[in-house]
Amino acid sequence: MGRVLIKNVNIVNENRVFESDVLLDGESIVKIDRSISDPMAKTIDANGRYLLPGIIDDQVHFREPGLTHKGDIASESRAAVAGGITSFMEQPNTVPQTTTIDKLEEKFARAAETSFANYSFLFGGTNDNLEEIKRLDKNACSGVKLFLGSSTGNMLVDDEAVIEKIFRNTEMVISAHCEDETTIKRNLAHYKEKYGDDIPVKYHPLIRSAEACYLSSSKAIALARKTGARFHVFHLSTGIETDLFRNDIPLEEKKITAEVCIHHLWFSDVDYESKGTLIKWNPAVKTGGDRSKLWEALLDDRIDVIATDHAPHTLEEKDNVYTQAPSGGPLVQHALPAMLQKYHEGVISLEKLVEKMCHNPAKLFQIEKRGFIREGYYADLVLVDLNDPWQVSKSNIAYKCGWSPFEETVFKSKVTHTFVNGHLAYEEGKFPGGRNAKRLTFNR
């Protein structure tokens, strides 16, 4: 791998943007200085482009094992590095589900062979695997995931006594999908009576309603407060839930945290008309008012991280009536360009974007030596050109499923290079020479 010198770059890191050179040696960043010379190093002249810490995505579904017609660890992690994501945490709703330590280790072994980005996996809590949860090594996996509302994969955990025991017996971050099942079932029955299976998709946010989200997340947060659990609510989608979170203490001191995803920051219910089931997600994309409140909470730090919930399904699967079309869509390749578009629109600063997509996932999950551009840290880096417009089209989509909800969108910013542990994993549309990904480690 040798030494790589990145010259004339604008570093975005720890609330600053500054001009610098950066020297990588092997898998690490060894020097950050205004002017570095190293004739033996391979030199990349960044020519004023912007260097960010590699994005850490705390919620992806890469579909392996068992659902590999939708995506697999190799294909989706490759798309991730094309989008500047250098580390991911994958979810347990695969086939079989990741609900035993053996299954968890099988995923790690598979990722070690095939992943382009650094990897970790969440362990799925169920109504009956508390003993396995207790045996997890807290420094070796990201944490526990609970589906407190059903979604792809039937992993609903609904035994309240068990949920309380999991909250009381887990030191790691417990991440949850929060949607109230009874409310959803009642709403679905109402629309089914009217439309049968062919319910217009625009009713999805009224079936998987704001009320369903709030009921579930507020209840789980109350339990986290009672038990002292370290609790992280995945993919907030409503304005009303944002008031459940605090911004008067630093992230390091928070015991209850929140994530928002790209699709809930980008789309709103008016988009169902043009995009149909392609933007059917759980939780549902809601109103423009909800989206504004999510942005507000993100920018005032009630929401801590931005993630993707990358969840590919084939176009064939999506092309079905409402009740048969699965929820979820692919996002890892386009998350950073989409958020950089919001920077161009004046919605978010580069520093804040880096805080929410790089620093905070590292802090929240206590990931070792990643998420920041610091000497001695792993050289997980993404170089972006803020002014090189390009259009998302089938010809440049890297997902195995071959489609994107962003198709035809023109993004102003482009990822040009992605380094994973000092290795150039992606360069200008190409993946020059293999993989160098590692299992994430944690400092807990």
User: Which active-site residues does the annotation give?
Assistant: 309
**Cβ(400)–Cβ(3) under 8 Å?**
no
**Cβ(102)–Cβ(121) under 8 Å?**
no
Please identify, using beta-carbon distances, which residue of 93 and 114 lies nearer to ligand DOR: 93
Interaction of residue 267 with ligand DOR, rule CB under 6 A:
no
Please identify, using beta-carbon distances, which residue of 93 and 115 lies nearer to ligand DOR: 93
Please identify, using beta-carbon distances, which residue of 318 and 423 lies nearer to ligand DOR: 318
Question: From the CB of 66, what's the least distance to ligand DOR, in Å?
Answer: 12
Interaction of residue 214 with ligand DOR, rule CB under 6 A:
no
Rounded CA separation 359/252 (Å)? 11
User: Interacting stretch for ligand DOR, rule CB under 6 A, among 75-83, 296-304, 320-328, 412-420?
Assistant: 320-328
Largest Cα separation within the chain, whole Å, is 73
**What are the structure tokens assigned to 172, written together?**
């790691």
Please identify, using beta-carbon distances, which residue of 21 and 90 lies nearer to ligand DOR: 90
Please tell me whether residue 137 adopts helix, strand or coil conformation: coil
Query: Restricting to residues 158-197, which ones interact with ligand DOR according to CB under 6 A?
Result: 177
DSSP E strands in 68-117: the ranges are 85-90
Q: Which residue is nearest to ligand DOR (CB)?
A: 328
DSSP conformational letter for 358: I
What's the Cα-to-Cα distance from 61 to each of 42, 154, 268, rounded to whole Å? 35, 14, 22
Using CB under 6 A, pick the residue from 328, 330, 405, 422 that binds ligand DOR: 328
Interaction of residue 327 with ligand DOR, rule CB under 6 A:
yes
Interaction of residue 146 with ligand DOR, rule CB under 6 A:
no
Question: From the CB of 215, what's the least distance to ligand DOR, in Å?
Answer: 17
Instruction: List residues bridging with 136 in a β-sheet.
Output: none
Within 8 A by CB and 6+ apart from 321, the residues are 197, 198, 199
Residue whose C-alpha is closest to residue 238's, from 266, 212, 262, 257: 212
Interaction of residue 152 with ligand DOR, rule CB under 6 A:
yes
Please identify, using beta-carbon distances, which residue of 405 and 422 lies nearer to ligand DOR: 405
Helix (H) or strand (E) holding 275: helix 272-275
Question: From the CB of 86, what's the least distance to ligand DOR, in Å?
Answer: 22
User: Interacting stretch for ligand DOR, rule CB under 6 A, among 214-222, 243-251, 326-334, 415-423?
Assistant: 326-334
Question: From the CB of 328, what's the least distance to ligand DOR, in Å?
Answer: 3
Please identify, using beta-carbon distances, which residue of 93 and 418 lies nearer to ligand DOR: 93
User: Interacting stretch for ligand DOR, rule CB under 6 A, among 198-206, 325-333, 401-409, 417-425?
Assistant: 325-333
Using CB under 6 A, pick the residue from 151, 238, 277, 413 that binds ligand DOR: 151
**What are the structure tokens assigned to 358, written together?**
């790089």
Interaction of residue 413 with ligand DOR, rule CB under 6 A:
no
Interaction of residue 93 with ligand DOR, rule CB under 6 A:
yes
DSSP conformational letter for 430: B
Number of residues that bind ligand DOR (CB under 6 A): 12
Question: From the CB of 177, what's the least distance to ligand DOR, in Å?
Answer: 5
DSSP conformational letter for 57: E
Within 8 A by CB and 6+ apart from 366, the residues are 442, 443, 444
What helix, strand, coil percent values describe the chain, rounded to 5? Answer: 35, 25, 45
User: Interacting stretch for ligand DOR, rule CB under 6 A, among 23-31, 250-258, 324-332, 436-444?
Assistant: 324-332
User: Interacting stretch for ligand DOR, rule CB under 6 A, among 42-50, 206-214, 321-329, 420-428?
Assistant: 321-329
Using CB under 6 A, pick the residue from 49, 61, 110, 230 that binds ligand DOR: 61
Please provide the DSSP assignment of 163-215 as one string.
HHHHHHH--SPEEEE---HHHHHHHHHHHHHHHTT---GGGHHHHS-HHHHHH
In what side-by-side order are the strands of the sheet with 143-147? 55-60, 85-90, 118-124, 143-147, 174-177, 231-236, 256-261, 305-307
Which residues are at the interface with ligand DOR (CB under 6 A)?
61, 93, 151-152, 177, 281-282, 309, 311, 326-328
